[in-house]
Every structure is written in structure tokens, then in C-alpha cells.
Chain A
């Protein structure tokens, strides 16, 4: 916690402004994990080998588990899982558009590179939450961080392998050219950014995180023979895509995906999503 930020206490202790800021911090975290996992599961039974199939399934399930942890904290404020996800409207989601993009058929380079860009961002984000003024978040950051280490490792192993021969490196480069602008949407702020920082909910600004992210990914991808659209001084040489996600505006792929994964829930008019596991607070 930064020196001047006070301990915000539990959900019931928050003022309206504080609560709005905590929600604005949590919602993108939860949605990013959830939607990325949803996309990752497309690789199940379709990955290049049985071994890589098992690995990407693990990662998808980790991300889903993390989404569950963050949604659970949002539920503290009175919204149910049904309201947050299954009965929400598509525009309530605040994930970055990077994670909602569909994968091209067989585009494993996209899956790996997207994972790398996202995991590097997430690692920075989670570290910026280790000193959060909201104890409910602090309690959960450690568990998530432990699992994310493996994800970054997985992505790096694959990237260096794929970039080892020319044809697959070209595929990775194509994925990079396409995904890089969308990856920048991870760092787009919500209207609550100032409050989030002032209240010490997160200890680093998204702008600073973006600089740190660039200074990590650029030299690494460079060393693999890839060309990142950014200068050595950290100047980004790409434009943000039209839809950034964090403000609720998404690409045309999102409503389609949202409609697919809520299909059963709507068709059976469930009213309540089945719970199988214990509440994260009880384990």
C-alpha cells in the first residue's frame, strides 16, 4: 500500500466513490480472464499435439479460475453471477478487445503470441495490486500470480521454438502485426483511473504499466527476430483500434461470442447459473 493510501476495509465500508473505483478495477480484470479463457478453450481437441492440447486446457482453466475469483469480489457489491455474466448485456463487459478476437483456423501463432502479450501485461497488473488498499484484492493476488508464472513460461518456450524457423516466424510476425494495436487496449483507462490511483487500489498507472510492458516485450520479441511496431525509446508506432473494450465498446466479434456462450442459459431460461464449487472465501 502506498504510504498515503488508507486501508479501504471490506465491501461494506466503502463510500460510493470508493466502491465505483474498486468495481472499475475489478471488472476489466475479471472479464479479461473470462473472455480470454473462452477463446483458449477453442483450442481444446484442436491444438497441434496432445501435449499442447493439455497445456492450453490447463491455461484456460487457470484463467477461468481467476475470473471466478474476481467476479466473486464483484458479487460482494450485491450483483450475482447471473447479473454479472449470464443476464448482463454484452456492452457491460469491460475486457480489452485483444481477448475477444477470434482465432483464425490453425493460427497457433496467434494463440501463443496473444498469450505472451496478455500474460506480460497481467503480470505487471497483478504486481501493481500487491500493495492495494483494498484487502479483498490483496488476499487473492498471490494465488493468481503463482499460476501466471507458468503461463508466461509456456508462451516464451513456444515463441522461441516457433521463431526458430523462418516459415513459422513469419506466422508469428503476422500475428504480431495484427494483434499489437489490440494489445494496446489492455492499457486503456476507464473514467475511474484517477480514483483508482488516488485511493491506492492499484499502485501503478496504466500509462506506466504500458511503458514497462513495452520495455519488456520489445527487446524480447526483437531477440527472436520479430519486429515490434515501437521505437527503442518506447514510442508506439501503431494506432489504437477503433473499439478498445474498456469503455464497453467492442468489435463485431464480441456480440457473436457472447450470444454463443449464453445460448444454453437463455434457451433453458435458467435464472440461476449452477454452482458446483465452494465459494472462494470458504476454501
Chain B
């Protein structure tokens, strides 16, 4: 008979891809891993939801194709991640999708903000995806193997998304004066949210300690944001973007950046984190309405077949 691993053993053995479905992990570990992966999966779905209107607004055949493919990839990532989360035996995919629809499911701060214009798309497609890439790359070494495995595929595809986002940014930044001004405006608006992408500093993060101790998280928020700034501040400047004066960012002699935390709106951040931020709630609710509008199809699929041979319909996607 298998004995549930105790937390001490988990902490001792914690390392890259150490645990998988064969291990009888303690509930605390499984819950923590579910929380992380569910958050990640939800973010894929809500990110896709935010970007989908821009498939229509894309200004060329090629851009439209690329945008449609990107949004599709995000849905595929969501599918993969929900599966990895399901493996932990805490929640089913249906539960997690229900939670996302009814406002319990949490997701990335940046996807709570509405996006109205094409020139905002690189803010997600380049900066937010770039930030996500930093975090995701470290998750290839997370201790829950199915999560790390999903990350291999996701990081591979994200690489293309960031290139696409950068290409749109380059186009705008080297375009007409109007385009340059609009992309700067978008950057001014999105930059503080992007800085908050990594969450509060580690000493204020509620779930950090345990997740680190059991190897689910391999790098802290501070370190990730540092790495992001090292890579993306120069890129922003390269495209002629002016870094807003606030929030202040001090550049130290050793190349480290220090963000003045008080310049960021942490009240709004926590509102967002609790799904209480009004524009975010609107996103959640409109997605919920769209999901409910096709509930009849899911019900029809669950109705036992009256002898038709079409049992494999949902698999037609694979």
C-alpha cells in the first residue's frame, strides 16, 4: 500500500520534475500545485479572451492568420494546463472552468484590463508575454512533472508569440508619427500593470514560502522582475519608447533595478487579485455569458447517444 509522502520528505526530495502522478503527494502539496496551475490555465483562457477581438481588427491577411493562431495556441495551453492540474486529483477541469466563469477563478492582473485598440496589442503580445516567458522558463524546473512537461510545449510556442508581438511593436514604432504616439500612449498606460505582473515583493506574497519549499516555484517574484527589467527595459528603449517617470525605477551601478514600490497602485492590484476590479469583472461576466450560451451543446454531448456512431465528436479537434 502506498503511503502519502510527508511534507518533510517532499521538501527534502524537492527538485526539478521530481514528482508525478505515481507519487502519493500530501494534500497540501496537491492543493498548492493545483492553485498555481489553475491560475496559469485561467490566465491562458482570459488572455485569449482579451485578445480575440483583434483577430478581426488585424490589418492584413497575415496578421489575421497569426492572431487567430496565437489565440488558438492559448486555448491549447489552457487545455494542457487544466489536464496537468486535474492529475493532482483536487479539482476536475469542469470545476475549474465553472470557477473561472463564476468569478472564483483567479488569473493574471494584466488580463483584467480592457484592451480597445490594435496599438495596445504589443503590450500583451510583447511585454506581458515576455514577462510570462521569464516565469514560465523557470517552471520547466518545477517539482510537479506534468506541469514542467506542459511548460516545454508552452514555452516553445510562446517564443513565436513574442516574436509576433515584437513585430507589431516594431511596425508601430517605426511607422507614422501618429502610430508612434499611440504606441507610446499605450505603453504609458500599461507599463505599471506590467511591472505588477510579478506580484508583490516576496516578503508580501502569501503563497511564496510553501511553494518554494516544495519546489513548485523555483524563483521569487523579485528575482523574476529583475530579470525581466534587465531584458525588456533595453528593448523598450530600442523601439524608441520612453519609460514613464512614474513608477520610479532606480538603476544601480551593479546593473540592478529598484522599483519604488510605493509608486505602484497596490490597492488596485489587490482589487484585481480578488476579482473585484470592475473592468475585470466585466471581462469575466461577458465570457461567462458566452459560455452559457453554448451550454446546450455540452448538455447535448452528455445526453446518451440514441445509437448514433458519432461518439467521437469532441476528439475531432485532435
- List A residues at the B interface (Cβ < 8 Å): 34, 38, 41-42, 44-55, 57-58, 60-61, 64-65, 67-68, 71, 81, 85-86, 105-106, 108, 153-154, 157-158, 160-165, 167-168, 171, 260-261, 263-265, 267-270, 273-277
| A41 and B56 within 8 A (CB) | yes
Q: Does B155 contact A (CB under 8 A)?
A: no
Instruction: Write out, one digit per residue, whether chain B residues 268-312 have a CB within 8 A of any chain A CB (1) or not (0).
Output: 000000000000000000010111111011101101011011101
In the A-B complex, the 7 residue pairs with the smallest Cβ-Cβ separation, listed nearest first, are A106-B293, A273-B60, A48-B297, A57-B72, A51-B317, A55-B317, A276-B62
Q: Beyond A41-B55, A48-B301, A49-B314: 15 further Cβ-contacts under 8 Å?
A: A41-B52, A41-B64, A46-B52, A46-B294, A51-B314, A64-B65, A81-B61, A106-B292, A160-B310, A164-B306, A261-B56, A267-B118, A268-B59, A268-B118, A268-B176
Collect the chain A residues with CB atoms within 8 Å of residue B123's CB. none
Instruction: Write out, one digit per residue, whether chain B residues 65-100 have a CB within 8 A of any chain A CB (1) or not (0).
Output: 110110110011011001000000000000000000
* Interface SS of chain A: helix
Q: Does B318 contact A (CB under 8 A)?
A: yes
| A269 and B293 within 8 A (CB) | no
Q: Does B257 contact A (CB under 8 A)?
A: no
CA distance A71 to B61 in the complex (A): 10
Nearest residue (CB) in B for A61 is B68
26 contacts between A and B (CB under 8 A): A45-B71, A50-B82, A51-B314, A51-B315, A52-B317, A54-B72, A54-B75, A57-B71, A61-B69, A64-B64, A64-B65, A67-B61, A81-B61, A86-B59, A108-B297, A160-B308, A161-B310, A162-B297, A163-B308, A164-B300, A164-B306, A260-B56, A261-B56, A270-B59, A274-B63, A274-B167
| B296 and A167 within 8 A (CB) | yes
Q: Does B190 contact A (CB under 8 A)?
A: no
| A265 and B313 within 8 A (CB) | no
CA distance A71 to B178 in the complex (A): 30
| B314 and A52 within 8 A (CB) | yes
Tell me whether A273 and B59 are in contact in the complex, defined as CB-CB below 8 angstroms, given that A153-B316, A160-B308, A164-B305 are known contacts. yes
Q: Does B58 contact A (CB under 8 A)?
A: yes
| B59 and A264 within 8 A (CB) | yes
Tell me whether A157 and B72 are in contact in the complex, defined as CB-CB below 8 angstroms, given that A86-B59, A168-B297, A276-B63 are known contacts. no
Tell me whether A157 and B59 are in contact in the complex, defined as CB-CB below 8 angstroms, given that A57-B68, A108-B297 are known contacts. no
Tell me whether A269 and B176 are in contact in the complex, defined as CB-CB below 8 angstroms, given that A48-B298, A55-B316, A106-B294 are known contacts. yes
State the Cβ distance, B181 to closest chain A Cβ, in Å: 11
Nearest residue (CB) in B for A85 is B61
Collect the chain A residues with CB atoms within 8 Å of residue B110's CB. none
Tell me whether A105 and B68 are in contact in the complex, defined as CB-CB below 8 angstroms, given that A52-B317, A54-B76, A274-B59 are known contacts. no
Collect the chain B residues with CB atoms within 8 Å of residue A45's CB. 45, 48-49, 52, 71, 75, 287, 290
State the Cβ distance, B14 to closest chain A Cβ, in Å: 31
Tell me whether A171 and B61 are in contact in the complex, defined as CB-CB below 8 angstroms, given that A50-B78, A50-B79 are known contacts. no
Collect the chain B residues with CB atoms within 8 Å of residue A49's CB. 297-298, 301, 314
Q: Does B27 contact A (CB under 8 A)?
A: no
| A60 and B294 within 8 A (CB) | no
Collect the chain A residues with CB atoms within 8 Å of residue B290's CB. 45-46, 105-106
